[in-house]
Structure 1
Amino acid sequence: MLDYRPFSSLGRMDIDWLSARYHFSFANYFDPARMGWGPLRVWNDDKIRAKSGFDPHPHRDMEIITYVRTGAISHADSLGNRGRTEAGQIQVMSAGTGIQHAEYNLEDADTTLFQIWITPAAPGLKPRWETRTLPGVDDKNRLIPLASGQGLPETMGIYQDATLYVAHLEAGGEIAHQLAPGRKAYVVGFLGQAEVNGQLLNARDGLAVADVDRLTLTAQGSGSLLLADLPG
């Protein structure tokens, strides 16, 4: 099953400092058919205006992954962590028993990012935060694991049996990915166009995948996408 979700169909919120698109129900957007996909609960596509951002607010029992596409985001939290995550980097925050954080775009231009929430395998875990530089866009035509709870090397850990991958495809490039029985996937393109098992995916479209054992990702031109491999 391939459930194609074009960018134009996503939930939306536009205010003076934030332009957000929601792949799943969030904030003012509610769609009972889009409440999550396996443990994937939130996939937000945010544009944060320069010199603005999210004031301190709390979370608990959620794995929150931020993939920065352009610009940078500056983080501060109640554990004393401080850091700046820029395009080409990823940050992971495990909210666990509770954490309060703020995320600001302190740059002189807009920042664009994906914010991805995954429900942890167990509640009440120890909260934490880290940021890391990703492999560069010159690493082509393969799925690169970024954050995982499957014990994959050189990834940032999350408390769930899931893995988030990035792929940078050259024109005509093709990648195959096996999904184990009972697992799901969610795919979002963010540059260029690609086909996933024949379904065209434009930049910032989403695709929910279930009951499929093999995904074939084919670039229509050069492009990039994220793929979350998830338990059912």
Structure 2
Amino acid sequence: MTRKIEHKNMGKSNLGWLRSIFHFSFADYYNPDNMNFGVLRVINDDLVNAKTGFEMHPHRDMEIISYVVEGNLTHGDNMENKRSLSPGAVQYMSAGTGVMHSEHNLGESTSRFLQIWIVPDKKGYAPQYGDYQFDWHLRVDKWFKFVSSKEGDAPIQINQDANIYAIEVSAENIVDFQVGNKRQAYLVLIEGDALVNSHHLLTRDALESIEENLTIKAVQKSHILDIEMEKSK
């Protein structure tokens, strides 16, 4: 089973310095029928103006992944980490028992990144932080798995049975994505124009798949994120 979600129907926020699209209920956008997709709790597509950002604030008991699409993202936290990331980079933070952090765009142009929250398999983990500046070519016309569970083989390993993949599909190319028995996936078309099974997706649209394999044809060059996990019980 698949279901398309058009970005025009997602939650929206405009704070001036920050413009966001919310895939699931977040902040002032609340829809009791759209709280999560399995263990996937949050995907926020954030545009942050130059020289602005999120000041220090707390999180706990959440696996948080930030995927940088455009511009600069500078992280700081109470674990004495401070890092600046550019497009293609991925940041991971396991909030665990509690962490304070900030995220700023210190560059000269607007920054865009996807903020992804995954519910951990239990509460009370020790906080962790890490980041990777992955070579862009790792995801060109092939799936690049950069997040897995602790039992998996990805560079970033989280406290949950979930995997995250990225790909940039060249125009007119076709790729498949396997969604196995008792598994589900949430696909985000970050940039581009693509046909996914019977659905036509445009930039910022999304698609849910439950136990149904996906065939993706890029109408135009398409940058895609896919979050795969155990099927909701």
Could you say which TM-score interval applies, normalised by the shorter chain?
over 0.9
Aligned to 1:23: 23
Q: What TM-score comes out, normalization by structure 2 length? A: 0.95
Calculate the aligned-residue CA RMSD, in Å.
1.3
State the 4+ residue runs in structure 1 displaced beyond 4 angstroms.
none
Q: Which amino acid aligns with 1:217?
A: I
- Quote the sequence identity (%): 35
Alpha-carbon distance in structure 1 between the residues aligned to 2:31 and 2:169: 32
Aligned to 2:4: 4
User: Does structure 2 conserve the Cα–Cα contact (< 8 Å) formed by 1:62 and 1:119?
Assistant: yes
Q: Secondary structure at the match of 1:219?
A: strand
Which string of whole-angstrom CA distances, capped at 9 and with x for unpartnered residues, describes residues 41-60 of structure 1? 00000000111110111000
Unmatched segments (≥5 aa) in structure 2: none
Q: Secondary structure at the match of 2:204?
A: coil
Report the CA distance between 1:221 and its aligned residue: 1.8
Alpha-carbon distance in structure 2 between the residues aligned to 1:184 and 1:154: 19
Pairing of 1:1-232 with structure 2 (within 5 A): 1-137=1-137, 139-149=139-149, 151-212=151-212, 214-232=213-231
Q: Which amino acid aligns with 1:96?
A: G
Report the CA distance between 1:201 and its aligned residue: 1.2
Q: What TM-score comes out, normalization by structure 1 length? A: 0.95
Of stretches 100-109 and 141-150 in structure 1, the one that deviates more from structure 2 is 141-150
Which string of whole-angstrom CA distances, capped at 9 and with x for unpartnered residues, describes residues 83-102 of structure 1? 11111111000001110101
Alpha-carbon distance in structure 1 between the residues aligned to 2:222 and 2:140: 10
Unmatched segments (≥5 aa) in structure 1: none
User: Does structure 1 conserve the Cα–Cα contact (< 8 Å) formed by 2:91 and 2:132?
Assistant: yes
| Residues 1:63 and 1:138: Cα distance change in structure 2 (over 3 Å) | closer
Report the CA distance between 1:139 and its aligned residue: 4.4
Report the CA distance between 1:159 and its aligned residue: 0.9
User: Does structure 1 conserve the Cα–Cα contact (< 8 Å) formed by 2:150 and 2:159?
Assistant: no
Which string of whole-angstrom CA distances, capped at 9 and with x for unpartnered residues, describes residues 76-124 of structure 1? 1111111111111110000011101011111111100100000011110
Alpha-carbon distance in structure 2 between the residues aligned to 1:222 and 1:49: 26
Alpha-carbon distance in structure 2 between the residues aligned to 1:48 and 1:15: 10
